[in-house]
Amino acid sequence: MKYVIKKILGLIITLLIVSMLTFFAFELIPGDPARSILGTDGTLEQVQALREEMGLNRPLPQRYGEWVFNFLHGDMGNSYYYQKSVQDLIGDRIPITVAMTILSFSMILVLSVAVSIFSVRYANRLFDRIFLIVDQIMMSVPPFFIGIIFTAVFGLTLHWFTPGGYVSYEKDVGGFIGYLILPSLAIALPRAAMAAKLLRSSLLDEMQKDYVRTAYSRGNGPWRVLLHHVLKNGILPVITFLGMTAADIIANSIVVEQVFGIPGVGRMLISSISKRDYPVVEAIIVLIAVVTLVMNILVDALYKKLDKRIEVI
Amino acid sequence: MLDVERLSIHFEDRGRREEAVKNVSFQLADGKILGIVGESGSGKTMTALTIAGLKKQRAVIDGGSVCLDGVDLLTLDDAQMRSVQGARIGMIFQEPMSALNPTMKIGKQLEEVLVLHAKLSKEERRNKVFAAMEDVELENPRELYEKYPHELSGGMRQRAMLAAAIVCRPKLLIADEPTTALDVQTQDGILGLLKKLNQKYGMSILFISHNLRVVEKLCGRVLVMKSGEVVEEGSVEAIFGNPQTEYTRELIAAIPDACGKNWKDGATVEQDEAVAEEIAVWQGEAVADENAMEKDVLEPKKVLEVCHLNAYYREGRVRRQILQDVSFTLHEGEIVGLVGGSGSGKTTLCKCVLGLLKEYDGVVIHHTKRPQMVFQDPYGSLNPRKTIGWILEEPLKVQGGFSKEERRRKAEEMLERVHLPKEFYKRYPKELSGGQRQRVSIATALMTGTKFILADEPLSALDVTVQAQMIELLKELQEKEKICYLFVSHDLDVVHLLCDRVLKVEGKTVTSMYG
Amino acid sequence: MKRKVTAILLVLCMASSVVLGGCSNDKNEGGSATDNELSKNPVEGGSIVVGISQDVDGLDPHMAESAGTREVLFNIYEGLVKPDSDGVLQDAVASDHGVSEDAKVYTFTLREGVKFHDGNEVTAEDVKYSIERCADTSNGEPLVSAYSIIESVNVLDENTVEIRLSEPDTEFLFNMTTAIIPKDSARTIDANPIGTGPFAYSSRNEGDSITLKKNEEYWGEKAHLDEVVFKVVADADMLVSYLKGGSLDMVMRLTNAQAAELTEGFRIEEGTMNLVQALYLNNAVEPLNNEKVRRALCYAINPDEIMDMMNDGKGVRIGTHMLPGYKAYYNGELTNYYGQDYEKAKELLKEAGYEDGFDLEITVSAADQPHVDTAQVIREQLKNIGVNVTINPVEWEYWLEEVYGNRNFESTVVGVDAKTLSARSLLERFKSDGGSNFINFSDEEYDEVLSQAIASMDGEGQTKCYMKLQEILTEKAASVYIQDLASLVALRDDFDGYEFYPLYVQDMAKIYRVE
Amino acid sequence: MKYKGHSHNFTLGLGITVFMVALILLGFLWTPYEPDAMQGSLKLNAPSILHLFGTDQFGRDIFSRVLVGAGSTLVIAAGTILIGGLAGVALGAVCGYFGGWLDEGVMRVCDALAAFPSVLLALVIISIAGSGKYKVMVALGIAFIPSFARIVRGEFMRLREADFVIGARLIGVPTPRILFVHILPNILPSLLSSLAIGFNNAALAEAGLSYLGIGVQPPDASLGRMLSESQTYLASGVWCAAFPGVFLVLLVLGVGLLGEGILDRFGGGR
């Protein structure tokens, strides 16, 4: 139990640091939201009046304290630009990015496990050799380039999907998921390649271990040894790797949302930063941090469940 | 029952062809126990693995046959061989720590053999597993069923592996050095079990070991192998009574025997000192009559004094006491054994002596310069990325005041004192054998000019013949350099041979014992 | 800040153009889908998806900031009068209008049966409320700056409204395009827009899309389409693939290179963006405060070469701060006032004391590719007269604050548009003490003539003054005027009926589907 | 774990990396055409002997732009792993070896930084410091410190209790010397390979940033921007996307293989 409390405490501290960093950062960024709203013909007095109204002139700590207080009560403040509460604004965008993250996470898991098992089973044979080359290449391709290739190949030539034809989940969930498959794959491929390589080398290490020889001595066939005995031990280092990729998946989703025209949290984040829409940016950053850290904790729990040797640290 | 005819195997390693087994033939009758003895590299393990169908791809069988009840196993395809493995041949291995799957429950691993070979319901399988556990004298099998390997001690794990091997009542059990990694009590336990299984189920056992004492205790017949060939074969009495071949005689001579010392208990500190002088004199005579060296019989200088030491283990705020009121004194030129079961506080004592652990009160006084240590695992004790010369010179660099040439000369001189060629100066640790590395560790310790070396099981990872040479070196340094060793070991034979007196750590206290 | 956010599309709409209302009262020569006969047989109904580069900043017509927002809201709201595709003001919510002799009293009679989207009849009270809301000066400037001269708005009877001005203004009718909204709907109008236009508000997903549906009871010529979706495509580079992919049907303000990609399946309409693109020089900064230096730059920079490079020659060259579309006011001879002549430019620089040139920084909004590219071409051209240019790409927000707000820049390339159709809105900017005179141009003669123009009663005299103002700007080289950028509109070929307006609006009511 | 397939990694990786870096260095000194020079007449020309990689929508020579663009990517990525690496090693060594409160605190901050997608961190820093090559490098450098610190910390914790380290402590070797003379050489292989991985991530992150329009600003060429601009011309000028993309992939592939090769050749710390 102590472990869980320690982890949550760590999460809270990290979140505080994240939100402080963001709040502080926005003080430094040039550009003033009031001017951004009033546009070109806002006179100086109007800008000052608006700043006053938005409370921008109050000291930083007071504003930060107030923001944290509201945030804990679920009120993330109102967007400067859209005159709408941040929750509504982000509310319908979070499921999109979360769905994409989950989709790419599971793709990474499935792809890396399947491919590396085959390559270990037929180690040093043709499949393994090809796998190594393709794998290394896949790791070097940026997700947005994959996105461009997918758009060109599947979108414009094969017309398997309409580029930019995002379908919102309210209208048709099937279409929604369907459209997200390619973007998620674009995010997942490079990560899956890395995970596959890691898993392959850790599986090969495990194959050298004594308990594998004992398993064989009991009459287990190679597949059974691989699936029943080795996989469970081999996957441990990969799980920690996956834990670390959570932040990368979201970072890449920001770029891929751009390529496929998906109104996810990422794009809103980019446009809000350029519009100096602080409350929206704050909320998104903290949410991204929460999702990343929760994922890390899930991964730790999964790791502990699989490998009993690790007592409560 | 098992008939091996002219079996020969070679290794294909980057083009070089290495003969591992050269036409080995032997028989193992029903219900008998055959021991295969030989140093590492003699091909005994390779032979055993081939019989059990576990040889590596890189090893190629050139010829010969392995007939089990008339069926030549070498001709079976994978599927047929799998039906034999586990059902008709059971196998246990040397390292209990890593031979069981760390993330799978014990019960499940035992049950697996039945799942593969017997068509039984879950309930029947569980009962068979519990029966097997009782056979190997594992207490409360139901509870153990749910446990994981890391929750069991080394001995229990070895028993669990044994249970898994015999749960299908195989005709043949192959044991590849099952006792080497265990301490003496658990070792006898396992040997007793093997004997019981042999009698109870008439299970024939092929026992592979490099420890002749154990083979002598257990086996009916013995096969001696050297670099892939059978050098001698015969009953235990014949082999140990009058060994025919030169090599066998050499092996038997190398067994460290206890030469009949019996240890008295409960001596006090004062008695320690009195006896220490007597020993110093006694050693003096022993050395004197050999090369008549003049021996200064001054009162021997103290090296280490430990008075009323209480050591604790801190976990968060909880402080558990490990050692209570420990006092002893070590003198120059004295080799003192330190024995005790694992978890008895032996390691904690060493850490306190070396100053690595601060959680203690009481006094530890070193009369020499910094205490040094020689480690058990030769592969970890030297910095793999540095040359031997660099490692030897490090203590001098720390003390400072030596020029480059002086440091080099001292290093080469030290290499000679531990009987290593000067060329090793430029070599890297991975180019040296286990024994040579331990010599470098000792040399490095001496470079600091210390008179006290704590040797933590320095010999257990070495082959018997190499162990003998190391013992000679330790003795030589004791006399010439007046080095005092605190010799940690669980191999009582070596302790008896080497140590003048022994400190036994038991139940938080340390008692002195004299030969 | 984000290159994508204000990409090519934005070059025309609010973000990159300085928003001051104005529209030309004549169709621009660029020519568009000339006579608007219905090519194939129209099919009523259907839906269209229009790509826009930036989300609207709000749905309240009076608070609309960016030209991009007004472009969309044109379909929802209507004023008392409304410009047609030729730029001529037609009666809309008002059935007819009258102006008093002294141009101080404007009277409007409401059209019978004009309904709001929520079904209520439009009353004089609604009109009074809407006008007064825009004229209210309680917190500083009125929402529509021109309304500062409104004295009172009086309801004569339930369908006539009279507006009294504090000073005569013959062109005040141009400001009567302000949207009429229901009485007291100020607080709710943004979330629940109610207007009288051909389309009514249906739904919105901030930052992604806005959906409008056909207003069945529209008083005038009803729209053909049932639904119009304005979809935000922040990244201009994605437009072509989305058009080809099928997720977009219509996109405005494409570059020539982009249009070239849409070879089949699309209809490309050609017009201009109604923007004055120029290298705006900060007249208060060394050496640009020297008129000779500014004239030298005009001689060195060649608009035709810029247009060739940018859009294969498309676009309309201009010589002063006036849009060719304003036929009545556009001073044609000024277009080629400065032919490219490096020698003359160098001579002028010598006279001004900058014989070996000087350093010039061009600040430009990074997101507007055409302006960035124009700056690069200018850099190559100015190299010939020793002026070395550094291009400083900045975010739009930064440009807005530093360049436009604080006037802290040397030179910048941007497009300035006009909010209303009156020439005055373009030229009034350069009054010496003008609030939005961001280039710090100050010239007494210019101020003198400007006040004459505003005061003059007869149209003839007024136009002569406007012509003079343009001359002064060109002769004094307030800035280096380049072009009114070409604007290409891509429309999927199963739609037709697109019409260019001389104003920054998209009239979706004209669009219809064809087989 | 010497598998036949692996030993080629080193040679292949070195070959590709050297070839690409040579090309880029060439780009610094000389490019066939002025990267930003526009020729109205040569818009969207297919690759030809005159223009190896063809021309873009403004008639600019793509080969020269790719060289210069890759140059900035190389400089930024190298700078990033330098900043991230050095800070990461120092931080990781101290935390790994000493542990305790320092370790806990630093790790919390690292988690916080790691929770920030590097794109966002770069965004924030660039907005403060203004965009441009060196600012992107600093931004990414800071974003990469946590990952390096974590790897180095793990290695140091593993070797902290190694016999030869205890031996060194007993000899009386001062701690800094133990850290950087005794332990550091042993983690070099895994450190080098993580630097290679770091380089790749940095190059890809830079490309991502300039794709979003945040990294290198016009008129400087950058691979990410070229890729983003090329999307409009996928049909009529696919080489505008192909060459910058392939060039980036090859550069990252080369360094990746090199990192892998180092791990095989010198035996990873693991």
Q: pLDDT class for D78, splitting at 50, 70, 90? A: very high
Architecture of domain A93-306: Orthogonal Bundle (1.10)
Would you tell me which residues 218-257 of chain A have a C-beta closer than 8 angstroms to some C-beta of chain D?
A: 244, 247-248, 250-252, 254-255
- pLDDT of D5: 46
A187 touches chain D (CB under 8 A): no
pLDDT, chain C, mean = 82
> Is residue C86 located within the same domain as residue C184?
yes
Would you tell me which residues 110-149 of chain A have a C-beta closer than 8 angstroms to some C-beta of chain D?
A: 123-124, 128-129, 132, 136-137, 139-145, 148-149
pLDDT in tens, B447-503: 888 888 888 888 877 877 788 888 888 888 888 888 888 888 877 778 888 888 888
> Is residue C119 located within the same domain as residue C30?
no
> Is residue C376 located within the same domain as residue C513?
no
A237 touches chain B (CB under 8 A): no
Chain D: partners with 3+ C-beta pairs within 8 Å: A, B, C
Task: Please answer whether residues B495 and B502 qualify as being in contact, where contact means their C-beta atoms are separated by less than 8 angstroms.
Answer: yes
Chain position carrying tokens 């749905």: C59
- pLDDT of D256: 86
For residue C511, report the phi and psi dihedrals to the nearest 5 degrees.
-75, 140
- pLDDT of C281: 92
Distance from CA of A210 to the nearest CA of B (A): 5
> CA A297, A299, A304, A305: dihedral to nearest 10 degrees?
120
- pLDDT of C226: 92
- pLDDT of C23: 33
- pLDDT of C20: 35
Numbered residues of chain B with Cβ closer than 8 Å to any chain A Cβ:
52-54, 78-79, 82-87, 89-91, 93, 95, 98-104, 112-113, 116-117, 148, 150-151, 161, 164-165
C-beta atoms of C257 and D43 within 8 A: yes
C71 lies in some domain: no
Sorted by where each starts, the structural domains of chain D and their CATH numbers stand as 8-29+53-269 (1.10.3720.10)
Query: Which chain A residues contact residue C66 at CB under 8 A?
Result: 39
C-beta atoms of A293 and D115 within 8 A: yes
C-beta atoms of D186 and B384 within 8 A: yes
ipTM reported for the complex, 2 dp: 0.73
Question: Residue A273 corresponds to which amino acid?
Answer: I
C66 lies in some domain: no
Task: Please answer whether residues A26 and A275 qualify as being in contact, where contact means their C-beta atoms are separated by less than 8 angstroms.
Answer: no
> Is residue C436 located within the same domain as residue C358?
yes
User: What proportion of chain C, given as a percentage, has pLDDT over 70?
Assistant: 90
Instruction: Please state at what angle helix D223-230 crosses helix D184-212, rounded to 10 degrees.
Output: 40
Would you tell me which residues 146-175 of chain A have a C-beta closer than 8 angstroms to some C-beta of chain C?
A: 151-152, 155-156, 159, 161-166, 168
Distance from CA of B56 to the nearest CA of A (A): 10
Burial label for B450, CB within 10 Å (0-12, 13-18, 19+), is buried
Domain count, chain C: 3
pLDDT in tens, A212-267: 888 888 888 888 888 888 888 888 888 888 887 887 888 888 888 888 888 888 88
pLDDT in tens, D140-164: 888 888 888 888 888 888 888 888 8
Chain B: partners with 3+ C-beta pairs within 8 Å: A, D
> Is residue C456 located within the same domain as residue C392?
yes
How distant, in Å, are the alpha carbons of C10, C13, C53, D238 from that of C7?
Answer: 6, 11, 7, 21
Query: Which chain C residues contact residue A41 at CB under 8 A?
Result: 19-20, 141, 145, 435-436
Best-predicted range by mean pLDDT among A34-43, A299-308, B43-52, B297-306?
B43-52
pLDDT in tens, C405-417: 788 899 999 988 7
Q: pLDDT class for A291, splitting at 50, 70, 90? A: confident
Sorted by where each starts, the structural domains of chain B and their CATH numbers stand as 29-49+83-253 (3.40.50.300), 277-371+450-513 (3.40.50.300)
Centre a 10 Å sphere on the Cβ of residue B24 and count the other Cβ atoms it contains.
23
Task: Please answer whether residues C30 and C416 qualify as being in contact, where contact means their C-beta atoms are separated by less than 8 angstroms.
Answer: no
Distance from CA of A36 to the nearest CA of C (A): 6
Mark whether A and B touch (3+ CB pairs within 8 Å): yes
Would you tell me which residues 34-73 of chain C have a C-beta closer than 8 angstroms to some C-beta of chain A?
A: 55, 57-58, 65-66
Which stretch of DSSP H or E encloses residue C388?
Answer: strand C388-394
- pLDDT of C202: 92
Question: Residue D117 corresponds to which amino acid?
Answer: P
Would you tell me which residues 268-287 of chain A have a C-beta closer than 8 angstroms to some C-beta of chain D?
A: 269-270, 273, 285
Show which of C168, C196, C224 is a domain's final residue. C196
> Is residue C147 located within the same domain as residue C39?
no
Centre a 10 Å sphere on the Cβ of residue B257 and count the other Cβ atoms it contains.
10
For residue C24, pLDDT beyond 60: no
Burial label for B63, CB within 10 Å (0-12, 13-18, 19+), is exposed
> Is residue C480 located within the same domain as residue C491?
no
Structure tokens at A65: 């304290």
Q: How far apart are CA C149 and CA C146, in angstroms?
A: 7
Find which of C3, C369, C381, C383 to mutate to test the D interface (most D CBs within 10 Å of its CB).
Answer: C3
For residue C77, pLDDT beyond 80: yes
- pLDDT of C214: 93
Query: Which chain D residues contact residue C372 at CB under 8 A?
Result: 218-219
Chain A: partners with 3+ C-beta pairs within 8 Å: B, C, D
- pLDDT of A107: 92
Centre a 10 Å sphere on the Cβ of residue C123 and count the other Cβ atoms it contains.
18
pLDDT in tens, A133-158: 888 889 888 888 999 899 888 888 88
Which residues, including other chains, have CB under 8 Å from residue A61's CB and lie 6 or more apart?
none
Q: How far apart are CA C442 and CA C447, in angstroms?
A: 8
Query: Which chain C residues contact residue A275 at CB under 8 A?
Result: 397
> Is residue C51 located within the same domain as residue C188?
no
**C223 vs A7, more confident:** C223
Domain with C358 in it: what CATH number? 3.10.105.10
D229 touches chain C (CB under 8 A): yes
Structure tokens at B382: 């030297």
- pLDDT of A38: 64
> CA C199, C201, C205, C207: dihedral to nearest 10 degrees?
60
Find which of B366, B385, B398 to mutate to test the D interface (most D CBs within 10 Å of its CB).
Answer: B385
Domain range annotation of chain A: 2-72, 93-306
Which residues, including other chains, have CB under 8 Å from residue D98's CB and lie 6 or more apart?
none
C-beta atoms of D218 and C372 within 8 A: yes
A17 touches chain D (CB under 8 A): yes
> Is residue C320 located within the same domain as residue C239?
no
Q: Name the residue among A214, A220, A306 with its Cβ closest to that of B100.
A: A214
Find which of D107, D116, D131 to mutate to test the A interface (most A CBs within 10 Å of its CB).
Answer: D116
pLDDT, chain A, mean = 81
**C485 vs B315, more confident:** C485
D214 touches chain C (CB under 8 A): yes
> Is residue C402 located within the same domain as residue C469?
yes
Find which of A218, A307, A313 to mutate to test the B interface (most B CBs within 10 Å of its CB).
Answer: A218
Distance from CA of B118 to the nearest CA of A (A): 12
Strand order of the sheet with strand B302-315? B318-331, B302-315, B360-366
Task: Please answer whether residues B496 and B515 qualify as being in contact, where contact means their C-beta atoms are separated by less than 8 angstroms.
Answer: yes
pLDDT in tens, C205-231: 877 889 999 999 898 888 899 999 999
Which stretch of DSSP H or E encloses residue D268?
Answer: none
B1-13: buried (b, 16+ CB within 10 Å) or exposed (e) per residue? Answer: bbbbeebbbbeee
> Is residue C285 located within the same domain as residue C433?
yes
- pLDDT of C280: 93
Low-confidence ranges of chain B (pLDDT < 70): 256-299, 514-515
Show which of C164, C196, C228 is a domain's final residue. C196
Domain with C269 in it: what CATH number? 3.40.190.10
Q: How far apart are CA D125 and CA C361, in angstroms?
A: 24
C-beta atoms of A35 and C19 within 8 A: no
Domain with C106 in it: what CATH number? 3.90.76.10
Query: Which chain B residues contact residue A217 at CB under 8 A?
Result: 52, 54, 85-86, 89-91, 165
Distance from CA of C374 to the nearest CA of D (A): 11
Distance from CA of B145 to the nearest CA of A (A): 15
3-state secondary structure string, C145-170? HHHHHEEEEEEEECCEEEEEECCCCC
C-beta atoms of B356 and D169 within 8 A: yes
Distance from CA of D140 to the nearest CA of B (A): 32
D219 preceded by a cis bond (ω within 30 of 0)? yes
Query: Which chain A residues contact residue B52 at CB under 8 A?
Result: 217
A229-233, B188-192, D117-121, D254-258: the lowest-pLDDT one: D117-121
Q: Name the residue among C3, C391, C395 with its Cβ closest to that of D219.
A: C391
> Is residue C326 located within the same domain as residue C354?
yes
For residue C179, pLDDT beyond 70: yes
Q: How far apart are CA D221 and CA A13, in angstroms?
A: 41
Mean pLDDT for the stretch of residues C241-263: 85
Instruction: Find, among C350, C236, C214, C325, the residue nearest to C275 by Cα.
Output: C325
Query: Which chain A residues contact residue D253 at CB under 8 A?
Result: 136-137, 139-140
C-beta atoms of B377 and D163 within 8 A: yes
- pLDDT of A310: 59
Mean pLDDT for the stretch of residues C15-21: 37
C61 lies in some domain: no
Q: pLDDT class for C178, splitting at 50, 70, 90? A: confident
pLDDT in tens, C319-366: 888 888 777 788 888 888 888 888 999 999 899 888 888 899 999 887
State which residues form the domain around C354: 276-484
